[in-house]
Chains A and B, each alone.
Chain A
Amino acid sequence: MTLLAATLAPRAASGLLGGRVGERVGEQAAAVDAGTEPRCYSRLVNEWFCWDYVRDYRPEILDATVQHLLITLAAVLLGLVIAFPLALLARRYPRLESTILGVSTGLYTVPSIALFPLLVPFTGLSATTVVIGLALYALTILVRALLEGLRAVPEDVREAARGLGYGAGRLLLRVELPLAVPVLVAGLRVATVSTVALTTVGSLVSYGGLGNLIRDGVQGNFRAELMTAAVLCVALAVLLDVLLVLVQRAATPWTRGRQGQGASA
């Protein structure tokens, strides 16, 4: 037991690991005591891919994945909600366009790991900080996508709609936005996939979803945890990307048949 305490002490001193590493070491000692095979995620074996880890830690992994998903969705939605009026403003007043695009591109230049701390004085160590930060990044992509999408609407379509008595609002909602969907979705895909990846950085303020597991994995040299979280991140990104493609196909039945527009940015 003294040996165990000695191996635990320096890790406990780093102060960031919580109880889990201790738990893992204890478990391993128990396994050794009982003379059974140690788990593949135990400190002795420490395999990269370990199904036992996924099974034994399922609640924790599930929580992290759900948090990751919620943060990503909230950030992209918030980005979209802000991007919409900005894009309309930029289209209406061309003079504002370069300002809006310039400011959002400037924000994009700031590394995420620097942006989160800058938001902390206002929103504290909370999920809000991460969501706002990520929304600002998504915003840059979405404003451009919306602008380009609306511009791609042919002028004669607009004329025809006006001729049919469409007012500005109805024209936007019923004609322009639906036609802008392919370009908008292309932007949404880019924004969503990069937001999934960026959410991990939120572990700086302890709201990083799977990023929290990655951080703990690095600090505790817990390979199964690290690899599982990384794989889940990529899987989540791919899943959301596929979902968006399906949404687009459902929303734009008229584009089927003339495939290969190559709308992706």
Chain B
Amino acid sequence: MRVLQDAWRYLTDASSWTGDGGMLALLAEQLLLTAGALGIAVLVGLPLALWLGHVGRGGFLAINITNVGRAVPTFALLALLVTADPWGWTGDLFPGTATLGPFGRGGAATLVALALFALPPIITNAYTAVREVPAEVREAARGMGMNGWQVFRRAEWPLALPLVASGVRLALVQVWATATIAALVAGPGLGRVITDGFFRTQYGKGIAGALVVAAVALVLELLAAGVQRAVTPPGAAGNAGAASPGRSRRTSPDAPTVGP
């Protein structure tokens, strides 16, 4: 158990947190990566999925994108993006080990991979959320003379919101995890501490990094759960788990679908 003592020593040593390449800087970098990738995925995936759900088409896509996302290893995709220079003209952005501003080494490749892995839960949940709005609600809204946009804005969206939020929450946790793996291939983020520790046989350091990553993951999950609860109107809690026909009540209503 020497390694656990080493890990503790690394965690309590101020110099491992501060400075360039210290854990605080890496933490900030990884949070930035996570937020950036999640933002991209929400901007791209959410409107598409909501629209598909509204018009009731593309269900095949929405369901299968999750299955595909699950089968492709995050690690392999990251590795491909980092090694690739797909078009030759991408210059500084690819090959993916190039530094991209505050996102660090391999920033562009990492952002793309993370955003891709955030899309499936967002798209699937948002699509299902809109589809599962009861038909009579939609009919009633239309009967009141609402047009398509109003039906979406005033009837479908409020009812879909809890499940949409649970999709984004799943994506958040997943992106954080994937961002950690990025260090195994490219370099940005806290995973760096883990891989450094392991590849240089300083296991204490690797374990310390793992502890920080795990702790932040749990904090993010709790925060996201809080946000999700806040946007769920009282009494609609049961609806939030509609994607997975579970019966869990207070605990997270959604079964985890995918995750690295």
Question: Which A residues are within 8 Å of any B CB, using their own CB?
Answer: 15-16, 97-98, 101-102, 105-106, 108-118, 120-121, 137, 140-141, 144, 148, 151, 190, 193-194, 196-198, 200-201, 203-205, 211, 214-215, 217-218, 221, 223, 226-227, 229-230, 233-234, 237-238, 241, 264-265
Contacts and interface: CB of A to CB of B under 8 A. Distances in A.
A190 B72 contact: no
Given A98-B249, A106-B218, A120-B3, A113 B184 contact: yes
B260 interface: yes
Contacts of B176: 111
A contact face: mostly helix, strand, loop, or mixed? helix
Contact of A16 (B183, B199, B251): B199
Contact of B184 (A141, A204, A230, A264): A204
Interface in B170-213: 173, 176-178, 180-181, 183-185, 191, 194-195, 197-199, 203, 206-207, 209-211, 213
Given A218-B82, A230-B79, A105 B256 contact: yes
A101 B199 CA distance: 35
A114 B213 contact: yes
A204 B213 CA distance: 15
A200 B73 contact: yes
B99 interface: no
B12 interface: no
A111 B4 CA distance: 19
Contacts of A234: 71-73, 76
B79 A111 contact: no
Contact of B181 (A113, A117, A118, A227): A113
A112 B177 contact: yes
A194 B70 contact: yes
Interface in B64-119: 67, 70-77, 79-80, 82-83
Interface residues on B, range: 35 or more
A198 B1 contact: no
A113 to B, nearest CB: 5
A217 B73 CA distance: 15
Given A221-B83, A230-B73, A112 B218 contact: no
Contacts of B73: 196-198, 200-201, 211, 214, 230, 233-234
B231 interface: no
B150 interface: no
A81 B224 CA distance: 31
A109 B211 contact: no
Nearest to A201: B75
Nearest to A198: B260
Contacts of B184: 113, 201, 203-204, 215
Contact of A111 (B63, B199, B213, B244): B213
Contact of A110 (B67, B217, B255): B217
A242 B210 CA distance: 35
B79 A214 contact: yes
B217 A109 contact: yes
B248 A97 contact: yes
A140 B244 CA distance: 14
Contacts of B194: 113-114, 117, 204
Given A117-B206, A141-B255, A201-B184, A238 B71 contact: yes
Q: Which of B72, B178, B214, B257 has the most CB of A within 10 A?
A: B214
B260 A197 contact: yes
Given A102-B251, A227-B80, A193 B71 contact: yes
A221 B83 CA distance: 7
B72 A110 contact: no
B76 A229 contact: yes
B22 interface: no
Given A201-B75, A234-B72, 10 more contacts: A97-B248, A101-B251, A113-B181, A113-B194, A151-B247, A193-B71, A200-B74, A200-B75, A203-B184, A234-B73
